[in-house]
Chains A and B, each alone.
Chain A
Amino acid sequence: MSTGTDISFFFHPRAVAIVGASPRHGKPSQVILESLRRIGYPGAIYLVNPHHATIDDITCYRALSEIPDEIDVAIFAVPAATVLEIMERTENIKGAIIVSAGFKETGPAGVTREEQLKALATRKGIRIIGPNCLGIYDTISQLDTFFTPEARVQRPPRGGLSILTQSGSFAQTIMDELAAAGIGVARVVSYGNRVDVGESDCLSFLMDDEATKVIIIYMESVDDGRRFVEIAARCTQKKPVVVVKVGKREAGMHAARSHTGAISGRYEIYRAAFKKAGIVEVDGYEGMKDAAKVLSTYQRVAGNRVLIITDGGGLGVSLADACEALGLKVPELSEGTQRSLRSKLPAFFVTSNPLDLTGSVTDEEYVIALEAGLQDEYDLVIVTVLWGPPKLTELLADKLNAVRDKQAKPVLICSPGGEFTRRMAARFETHGMPVFTTLESAARAAAMLAGRTR
């Protein structure tokens, strides 16, 4: 079954099979079955294992070829050595997710095995995700092939963020953290060794995928440089694409017979490629988390003018510094806004930017400040909340959210602190307000919204 370049069937599979299904608790294949059931995968699930007649009351087939159905996605959770053998004898699968390790990453024998796998898949027209990967977590088609138990790695709810990654550990970690922050995802693809399907194929699907609003790519290397740039450039016309590039120290592959060769590392060329494609590059895991939070909540803004509202003077000034270092502007409030604020707020409040509401602040004063700020000429507002001021109540999140809802402008919450602060942060997150626990991350997120990342 040749599918050409279209890999969309991975994102709405009618039937899936687990090859190497097992009833044994904790085995990857058993966790995958559990994952599929928990997410409520609506299609047909077939199990394959010659040593069992049934598993969990589901019929178990001796071989893929005995299944009287066409399989869109066969999930291989068997030892690497047997993957090729099984695939060779199979005619009824369109795509495979090979979670098994034991390929290129293990040395010369593994490299050979992986080359054989590639040749076999090409010959049979089977598209492959993996090997050595977690596969797909998809809230739209309700597919979850991750073999990490949900009790250990939480799954995020449905949302507009899609993630492409070579690293499985990265996929799990970010998913767990997004779930904890209440941020939803659409499609997460972990393609591991990337013998076939990689970021270019996935991007060409995601660019027209209505469920996907923002794409994040964790990249060690690129699958096909020129094709990636061409597809990503079209994709960024439609939705933001954010990339985290790791392995930045990789030396240039260029013969250093000139200054140009000597100075051109691999990473420099990657950056040039990202620029060409209009991709937003973020620095490391933390930067990626900030991007995920902010871009899945807000549209990017046209300008770079930031208003900072704070109840801690020092925090406000530090945040202003961090913003300016990233190319944002922190301009003064307009005369009109200052006048209006002075008439509504106590005289000892400083009506400049940062707008310092001091330790005597009340919920209502935060509301007054945010209302006025949103009407002034700013592109976005960062509200920093330190929970020390005794007059603040737990209702602050609800009240600020009510003000925000009337305005299209992004409002970011910056709230560093300990246990109580984290509890309050959850209240903001319930309303879908992104909360940043450090000044640096709030500034980075603001810069990302303003299209100024480096």
Chain B
Amino acid sequence: MSKTEAKQLVKDARTSGRHALLEPEAKALVAAWGIPVPRAVRIEGITDLAGALAALTPPLVLKVVSRDIMHKRDVGGVITGINDYEAVRAAVRELQANLAAHAPRARLDGFLLEEMVSPGIELLLGGLRDPQFGPAVIFGTGGFAVELVKDVSFRLAPLTREEALAMMQEIKSYPLLTGFRGSKPMDLEALAAAVIALGDILQELEEIQELEINPLVVSDAGAVAVDARVVFA
């Protein structure tokens, strides 16, 4: 998807009265600004699986796509470690059962079948539009306990490479990024590029109130947006 198409996607979603983008849309948006996302196929159910599987390399993860579900994991909406056709079918059925039990009223917008990302460090890369200062970018330790750990750094957009690198140095877990206890140093340039890109998205798309990539998984080979959320103003 090009930037122009991504901008149109946001406009259309706004026009149709939606308050946020769906995960596949949000990922397409960040990808348009050069932030890598996992290879994925959006499916409706178990009928169109063969084509989808041919395009992907296992292991895979299956995620629910729903405009009504904010925390997918809380409703059993994420199933990991899927390796073949049979496992996908089982996973879809399991996920449907989970939803029936935990989110029966949620409108379903399909499923996202996605390649799993090789292990790395989970980071938070977010942004928001402040009423006084405009677009601000937040970078820090990611995962589900972000508010608890609160290991983050803030900057106003647009950002320079130096500012992006300084943000990283400000968080407590910075040593994890530079090679901690024998691990390889992470790809800081890829991270910096993602941080800058996130600020650029907020600068260019005024409809966006909050944008969050969590986790952004970084390794020595790059940074990948594993989940993304876009909320409108």
A264 to B156, CA, bound (A): 12
Which of these, B130, B131, B150, B163, contacts A263 with CB under 8 Å? B150
> A229 near B126 (CB under 8 angstroms)?
no
> A257 near B231 (CB under 8 angstroms)?
yes
Which of these, A225, A229, A260, A275, contacts B138 with CB under 8 Å? A260
Given contacts A255-B231, A269-B154, A275-B155, contact A261 B210 (CB under 8 A): yes
**B residues contacting the other copy or chain, number (CB 8 A):** 28
Q: Which B101-131 residues have C-beta < 8 A from chain A? A: 124, 126-128, 130-131
> B136 near A259 (CB under 8 angstroms)?
no
Given contacts A229-B156, A276-B156, contact A260 B132 (CB under 8 A): no
Which of these, B124, B133, B214, contacts A273 with CB under 8 Å? B133
A253 to B132, CA, bound (A): 10
Q: Looking at chain A's contact residues, is the secondary structure mostly helix, strand, loop, or mixed? A: helix
Which of these, A255, A260, A270, contacts B212 with CB under 8 Å? A260
> B156 near A255 (CB under 8 angstroms)?
no
A272 to B147, CA, bound (A): 18
Is the C-beta of A345 less than 8 angstroms from some C-beta in chain B? no
Which of these, B20, B124, B136, contacts A257 with CB under 8 Å? B20
> B154 near A225 (CB under 8 angstroms)?
no
Which residues of chain A are near B20, meaning CB under 8 Å? 257
Is the C-beta of B70 less than 8 angstroms from some C-beta in chain A? yes
Is the C-beta of B52 less than 8 angstroms from some C-beta in chain A? no
Which residues of chain A are near B150, meaning CB under 8 Å? 263
CB distance from B68 to the nearest CB of A (A): 13
A262 to B132, CA, bound (A): 18
Nearest to B132 among chain A residues (CB) is A225
Is the C-beta of A51 less than 8 angstroms from some C-beta in chain B? no
Is the C-beta of A258 less than 8 angstroms from some C-beta in chain B? yes
> A273 near B210 (CB under 8 angstroms)?
no
Is the C-beta of A405 less than 8 angstroms from some C-beta in chain B? no
Which of these, B128, B132, B152, B155, contacts A261 with CB under 8 Å? B128
Which of these, A260, A262, A273, contacts B127 with CB under 8 Å? A260
Nearest to B145 among chain A residues (CB) is A259
A327 to B145, CA, bound (A): 29
- Interface readout for A212-235 with B: 1 if CB under 8 Å, 0 if not? 000000000110111001000000
CB distance from A226 to the nearest CB of B (A): 5
> A260 near B133 (CB under 8 angstroms)?
no
A264 to B152, CA, bound (A): 10
Nearest to B143 among chain A residues (CB) is A259
Given contacts A258-B231, A275-B155, contact A229 B209 (CB under 8 A): no
A259 to B136, CA, bound (A): 14
A281 to B85, CA, bound (A): 58
Is the C-beta of A38 less than 8 angstroms from some C-beta in chain B? no
Q: Which 3 A-B pairs have the closest CB atoms?
A: A260-B126, A225-B132, A272-B154
A-B contact pairs, 14 of them (CB 8 A): A226-B132, A229-B156, A254-B130, A255-B231, A257-B231, A258-B229, A259-B124, A259-B126, A259-B147, A259-B214, A260-B124, A264-B130, A272-B154, A273-B156
By a beta-carbon cutoff of 8 Å, the part of chain B in contact with chain A is: 20, 70, 124, 126-128, 130-134, 136, 138, 146-147, 150, 152, 154-156, 163, 209-212, 214, 229, 231
